[in-house]
Amino acid sequence: MVRIPEISPPTLEWIGDETGSLQLIDQTLLPRTLKVLDIQDCATLIDAIQRLAIRGAPALGVAAAYGAALAAREAATPQEWDQALQALRASRPTAVNLFFALARAEDIARREREKGWDPQRLLRLLLDEARNMHRQDQELCLAMGRHGAELLRDGMRILTHCNTGRFATAGIGTAFGVLVTAHAQGKDLFVYADETRPLLQGARLTAFELEERGIPGALLCDGAGPGLILSGEVDAILVGADRIAANGDTANKVGTLPLALAARHAGLPFYIVAPTTTLDPETREGREIVIEERDPREVTLGPEEGRCPPGFPARNPAFDVTPAELITALVTEKGVASPPFSSRIQDWAAE
């Protein structure tokens, strides 16, 4: 097994005991400034989630687990804790990992309530659970990396979208973790990273991580990806996921679908890499996935004023859905699945 170096500071970590805090990198300031936020309460965490100081489905799941513990520390009554979890749940409606983490917290709270309301005991249990989820996500990333690296050969040119590395998880990443693993194995890869507008997660975060890991690559305008695929300059497309429906339809950062369509037209493999915590067997197909619509000012203003005429309207869907028939394989910590995906998704979700 190859050794993959850890990078400090981590994207998120809990510091101290039950009186401690959640520390996380403010990703909105990267790559120019590396600032660590000290999160002492649930409301501050929700604000960090909503403004994308922390993002990426697996990282949101771990952060939400710590948020449930913070809520227990603050809540005077069970009802106050319930309200805090509702606010956490509403902070990012598409990322299923967040819902998964909160469901686990609610299961613990439900059992504890039968013994009476003891917020200190609940805090200890929820903090233990959050730490456990944190470790699990690190292990899942390593397993996905191993499985996915088997799909890559030396000399491949990979196109990826958004950010799926350490800034999106508690570990080395999902799709980016595959690249990190293959690179550590000595495979010579070249990675094209889409800018990922309007918030430039590819330009700000993925390019940053490529430099951190010493992986050769280049930045692309979002609109350049499909053309590059069809020109024969890409060998495979590797992306993450925020929610995978029971039939394999996959919600990911907006701009993923055009890459999948181009890959199908060019006959190239299009891989989704995500932990099984991103599977949502209760959602039958992609049309049922709620797509978060973000503030249109992210489109019209962006990093500079005057991107478009003042007051001009804009739409800002944060995700799109790639139909299962466009996906070559799903890579999870449990292995690689080829289509049709429905039975394997049900089996994985039931384990």
Phi, psi of 219 (to 5 degrees): -90, 140
Cβ-Cβ contacts under 8 Å for 217 (sequence gap 6 or more): 190, 191, 192, 193, 207, 210
The domain in which residue 316 lies consists of: 146-350
Q: Would you say residue 1 lies in a domain?
A: no
Any idea what the CATH number is for the domain that residue 151 is in? 3.40.50.10470
Q: Would you say residue 136 lies in a domain?
A: yes
Does position 305 have pLDDT exceeding 70, yes or no?
A: no
Same domain, yes or no: 192 and 254: yes
Domain boundary pick from 114, 141, 168:
141
Mean pLDDT on 39-53: 97
Q: Which residues of 35-59 are buried (b: 16+ CB within 10 A; e: fewer)?
A: eebebebbbbbbebbeebbbbbbbb
Distance CA 272, CA 336 (A): 10
Mean pLDDT computed over every residue of the chain: 96
Same domain, yes or no: 228 and 158: yes
Same domain, yes or no: 275 and 323: yes
pLDDT for 9-28, tens place per residue? 999 999 999 999 999 999 99
Q: According to the model, what pLDDT value does residue 114 have?
A: 86
Please provide the DSSP assignment of 129-196 as one string. HHHHHHHHHHHHHHHHHHHHHTT--TT-EEEE-S--STTTSSSS-SHHHHHHHHHHTT---EEEEE--
Same domain, yes or no: 342 and 218: yes
Mean pLDDT on 324-333: 99
Phi, psi of 244 (to 5 degrees): -120, 120
Catalytically annotated residue among 242, 249, 280, 320: 242
Any idea what the CATH number is for the domain that residue 40 is in? 1.20.120.420
Same domain, yes or no: 169 and 107: no
Domain boundary pick from 123, 141, 159:
141
Mean pLDDT on 89-96: 92
Annotated active-site residue 137? The verdict is: no
Same domain, yes or no: 77 and 178: no
Same domain, yes or no: 123 and 170: no
Same domain, yes or no: 215 and 94: no
Same domain, yes or no: 317 and 189: yes
Same domain, yes or no: 56 and 32: yes
Domain boundary pick from 113, 141, 169:
141
Same domain, yes or no: 136 and 151: no
pLDDT for 242-255, tens place per residue? 999 999 999 999 99
Q: Would you say residue 200 lies in a domain?
A: yes
Same domain, yes or no: 158 and 58: no
Give percent of the chain above pLDDT 90: 91
Distance CA 201, CA 199 (A): 6
Instruction: Quickly state the pLDDT bin for 308 (edges 50, 70, 90).
Output: confident
Domain count, the chain: 2
Does position 1 have pLDDT exceeding 80, yes or no?
A: no
Provide the whole-model pTM.
0.95
Q: Would you say residue 47 lies in a domain?
A: yes
